[in-house]
A and B are shown apart, each in its own frame.
Chain A
Amino acid sequence: MAPRPVALNRGAMIRGWPGRSAALALAAFLLAPLIAILWRAGGFGSLSTADWPALRFTLLQAVLSALCSAALAVPVARALARRRFGLRGAYIALMGAPFILPVIVAVIGFIAVFGRAGLLNSGLALIGVAPVSIYGLHGVVLAHVFFNLPLSVRLILQGWQAIPAERFRLVALLGADSASAQRLLEWPMLRQVLPGVIAVVFAICLTSFAVALTLGGGPRATTIELAIYQAFRFDFDLGRAASLSLVQFALVTLAGLAALKFGTLGGPGAGFDRPVARWDLTGRGLRLADALWLGLAALFLLGPLAAVIARGLTGLTHLGAAVWQAAMVSLALALAATGLTLILALTIATARRGWVELVGMAPLAASPLVLGTGLFLLIHPLARPADWALVVTLTVNAAMALPFALRILTPVIAGIETDYGRLADQLNLQGWTRLRWLILPRARPALGFAAGLTAALSMGDLGVITLFADPERATLPLMVWRLMGAYQMQAAAGAALLLLILSFALFALFDLGGRRHADP
C-alpha cells in the first residue's frame, strides 16, 4: 500500500477563516490587557519591599503544595495501579471530581472539618489538645493538596499503566519480589513522571486565588494574586496592581513553560480501567498498606464534601432571595460562557492550523486576576467597571476554560477528519455543512464533556468577579464568600451546597446529554 495521501489544500483553506478570526480575537483579548498593564505599571518602580513576602509566599506555598501532592499521590496511584476492587471505577471517577468542584465549596468543607469549630478540633478538645488553625500557610497547602492530589494520582497512574504488563511478567519469571520490581520498573518510571507532576501542580498553585483569598491573607500568607486584589480593593492603587500583575505574568509564563516541558496539561482524562496484572504482591502487609492509602485518600477527599452536604442541608431551606438571584446570575453566566467557549473551541479546532491552536492554549499562561487587572485598566477610563463585572467574568471564564475544551476536542476532531475527511471532501461538505452533518454529530460526546467542564468551571469560579463587583452584583461563589465574611456560616454552607449541586448538575447534564444516544 502506498502511504495514504493527506487531505488537500483548498477546502481546508476556506475552512480556516473562522478559526483564524477566533484566534485573532482571543489574542487581542489576552494581549490588550497586558499592554494596558505594561503601560500603567511603567516598570517595577511602584513595588516596595512590602511586596517581597508575597512573592516568597507564592513560591513557598506552590513548592510545598506540589511536593506534598506528588509525594502523597505515589502510594495512592500505586495501590490503584495494582489492585482490583469493586469500586475501582468509582474511585477513579472521584479522582476527577475536584476538577469541577468550586473552590469556595471545598473551602467551606475544610472549615467544617479542620476549622476552629470543626470536627478535628472538637476531637482534639476531647483529648485536651489545643485547637489548630486552618488559616495560613498550612491551610493553603492543605487546600491545594486537596485539589491537586487527585490530578497527581491520575498522572502518576498513567505512568504506571504505561509500564508494559510483560515487564511485570518478566520480573515474576525471574522470581523477584515487590522490592525488586520497584527498583527495576517503578522507580525509573517515577523518576520520569514525577518532575512533570510537580511542575504542573506548581504552575496551577501559582495562580490560585480563591484559596489564598479565603484561607490565606495577612502579611504572612498573601500570594501575588491576592496582593493584586488587595492593591485594588483596599488601596485602589492601580499602578501597584499593574506592577504586581507584571510579576505574576512573568512567574506564570515561566512556570507554564516548565510544565509544558516536563509534563502535560492537567485536567481530567479517560481510560484507566485496566489494572496491571502483578505477580509480586503476595504479602498481606502490602495489601493492608494499599487499602490504608486508598482509604485515607478517599476520606481526605470525601470528608470535606460530606461536611458541606451535612452542614448545607439545613441551610438550604433558608436561602435568601439574594442567594437565589446570585444563583440565577451564575447559571446564566455559566451557560453563556459554555456557548462562547464551545464556539471558539470548535472554530479553532476545525481550523487545524498550528498557530491558531497555540493561541487557543495561550489562556493557560494568563492568570484571571492579571487579565482582570488589565481589563479594569482598559474599562476604567471609559465606563464604570462594576457595570461590566458580569461581561468581564463571562469572557474571562470562557477564555480560561478554552484550553481544556480544546484539549478534549482537538484530538477528537482530528480523528474525525482522519476517518471521514476525504469522504466529506469528496461529497463537497464544507464550512457549516461539514460542521452540521459530520463534526457535530460525531464529536457529540466530546462536545458534551467539554461543555460540562466549561459550565462547571464557570459556575464555580471565584476570581475576576471580586475585582469588579459592587454590592448589588454577585455570582453564587461570590455570595458564598460574602456570607462567610459576614460569619453567617449556616447560610454560607447552604449556598455552598446549592453551588455544589448546580455545578455537578450542569456537568452531568451536558456530559450525559452528549453521550446519550450517541452514534458509534
Chain B
Amino acid sequence: MLTLETLRLTQDDFTLSADWQVPTGGRVALIGPSGAGKSTLMAAIAGFLTPTSGRILWDGADITNVAPGKRPVAMLFQDGNLFPHLTLAQNVGLGIRPDLRLSAADKDRVQTALDRVGLEGMAARKPATLSGGQQSRAALARVLVQRRPLLLLDEPFASLGPALRVEMLDLVADLCRDTGATLILVSHTPDDARRIADSVVVVDQGATDAPVDTEAAFANPSAALSHYLG
C-alpha cells in the first residue's frame, strides 16, 4: 500500500498537498489541467523531488528519503525511456542489474520479457531503428523485469496515436494483472482513465483528494472534475 502522509510539495511558488492512500494492486489515474502538478506528484513519489513536509510510505516503510533507484518504484517518463546507445536487450537488462553483468538466467528473463511485449527477435536492435510503439513496448519490457511493486506512468504514450495508445494501455493493464503491481498514471483523457484505472485522483489548484472509484467519479463529477471536463 502506498501512503502519502500530509505530503506537501513546493516548486518555486507552486505548492501541492496530498494525504491519501492507494491499496496494493490499485490502479489510479491522476487527471487535471496542465500545470496542476500531476508530474510534480509523480516526481515526488519516484524520488526526484524532496517533499517540503510529510512522508511517503510503502507498506508502512518510510521511503521519503530513499534514492530513486532504491525505491520500490518503476517509472516511465514522457520521453527518453530508452538509452539510444544501447540495444534493446541492454536497455531491458538494466532493469535487472544496472551494471549489466547478467547471468544466463537473467538473459533468459530479458528475452522472455521482450517476447511478452511482442518484440521477438529485436533484442539486438537499437531504439532509433524502432517505431514509437515498439519503443514503448521495449520500455514496458524493462518495467516487467524490474519487478517493482509500484509502477508510475507519466504519460509515456502521449506521442502515440489513439489506437496505439489504447493498445499500450491494455498491455500495461495485462502486465499489472500478471505482476500484481500497483499503478499510478497521469492521464489527459477521461477515456484512458476509464479504460485502465479503477480510481481517479483529481489534481487541481495545488490540492488533491483521495482516489474515487472511476465510474462513480465520472457519473457524479466533483466541482473540480466537471470544471476540467468542461
Contact = CB atoms under 8 A, between A and B. Distances in A.
Interface stretch (B33-41, B106-114, B208-216): B33-41
Contacts of B86: 437, 441
Contact of B39 (A1, A7, A9): A1
Q: Would you list the 7 A-B pairs with minimal beta carbon distance, nearest first?
A: A428-B69, A519-B85, A5-B43, A10-B67, A5-B49, A425-B68, A441-B85
Given A7-B48, A437-B86, A437-B100, A1 B34 contact: yes
Interface string A409-424: 0000000000110110
A383 interface: no
Contacts of B38: 2
Contacts of B11: 2-3, 5
Contacts of A3: 11-12, 14
Contacts of B43: 5
A442 B84 CA distance: 9
Given A2-B36, A429-B98, A433-B98, 12 more contacts: A2-B37, A2-B39, A2-B40, A5-B40, A8-B48, A425-B69, A426-B46, A426-B74, A429-B94, A430-B98, A437-B86, A442-B85
Contacts of A425: 47-48, 67-69
Contacts of B77: 422-423
B-side interface mostly: loop
Interface of B: 11-12, 14, 34-40, 43-44, 46-50, 65-70, 73-75, 77, 80-81, 83-86, 90, 94-95, 98-100, 126, 128
B126 A519 contact: yes
B49 A436 contact: no
Contacts of A1: 34-35, 39
Interface residues of A, number: 30
A438 interface: yes
A7 B49 CA distance: 7
Contacts of A8: 47-50, 67-68
Interface in A436-479: 436-438, 441-442
A342 to B, nearest CB: 19
A82 B36 CA distance: 48
A436 B99 contact: yes
8 contacts: A1-B39, A2-B39, A5-B11, A7-B48, A8-B50, A427-B98, A428-B68, A519-B126
Nearest to A432: B99
A427 B39 contact: no
Nearest to B75: A426
A219 interface: no
